[in-house]
Amino acid sequence: MVTSKLVITMVTDFFLLHGLNYGLKIVYTLVILIAGFWIIKIFKKTVDKRMVKHKVDASLRHFLTGFISIGLKILLLITVASMLGIATTSFIAIFGAVGLAVGFALQGSLANFAGGVLILLFKPFKIGDYIGAQGFSGTVKKIEIFNTVILTVDNKTIILPNGLLSNSPITNYSKENLRRVDFTFGIGYDDDLKKAQKIMQALIKKDSRILKTPEPFVRLSELGDSSVNFSMRLWCKKADYWDIHFDMLEAVKLGFDKAKISIPYPQMDVHVKKK
């Protein structure tokens, strides 16, 4: 009877001692867990405010804050588990192996993701810009994490992977406020050079959309195989580029026709020999 009471007393003392210690450890880890989640929340808001201040794109901002939050929460959970005496080495090894496998499986997607981050951070173009890249030209409609969507002038939607886009030349036609319109006009060798030049200069002065500074340029540039070629370079606002391009082509042709100045075109002489 005495022996059984002694055993019960020893077991009770053991559970009280270790239960109390383990209970305190659980309470301690819960406090750290709650405090950790609160600190992560505050840190996430702080990072988001800093990115808003630096005008980081909204889609990139939400992705980065979410990514940071998830990463910190995983680290917090691993830390709490180790505090409770749970072996975390195997979990870390499993996470590493899974991450490596996913990295190999999604190699192309990760390259597109990295490209999207670079595009959203450094902003080589923005929504609404007219760009040329990867053999396509169009207006940027969407900039997503993995792809950029452009709309061509004939209303085709082109989806460009950001990985390729961030590692290749990009022509942004909308970046600058001013653009230069370049023309080459050829006249016959028998035509009056000065007269042709005066016609072009008069047409330039007549068009108010053409800027005076930088100064318009009209000069003889080449003595070609079948024509004498003039170079015309005009500066304008980017919104007027295509209107000036088409209007000036038409105006010069009509002006030359009226002044009876010829515009040569390639010709081929065929000689037939009779045997």
Does residue 117 lie within any of the structural domains?
no
Mark whether 15 and 71 lie in a shared domain.
yes
CATH number at residue 33: 1.10.287.1260
Mark whether 212 and 237 lie in a shared domain.
yes
Tell me the pLDDT tens digit for each residue of 31-71.
887 888 888 888 888 888 887 777 766 666 776 777 778 77
pLDDT of 264 > 90? The answer is: no
What is the pLDDT at residue 119?
85
Does residue 273 lie within any of the structural domains?
no
Tell me the pLDDT tens digit for each residue of 92-102.
555 665 555 54
Choice between 121 and 260, residue whose per-residue pLDDT is larger: 260
Does residue 25 lie within any of the structural domains?
yes
Q: Which domain holds residue 243?
A: 178-258
The strand order across the sheet containing 228-237 reads: 178-187, 228-237, 217-223
Choice between 27 and 165, residue whose per-residue pLDDT is larger: 165
Tell me the pLDDT tens digit for each residue of 5-25.
555 555 555 444 555 556 666
Does residue 191 lie within any of the structural domains?
yes
Number of domains in the chain: 3
What is the pLDDT at residue 273?
73
What is the pLDDT at residue 2?
46
Mark whether 97 and 15 lie in a shared domain.
yes
Tell me the pLDDT tens digit for each residue of 151-182.
999 999 999 998 888 888 999 999 999 999 99
Q: Say what the pTM is.
A: 0.60
Mark whether 147 and 201 lie in a shared domain.
no
Mean residue pLDDT across the chain: 81
What is the pLDDT at residue 22?
61
Tell me the pLDDT tens digit for each residue of 202-235.
999 999 999 999 999 999 999 988 899 999 999 9
Mark whether 150 and 218 lie in a shared domain.
no
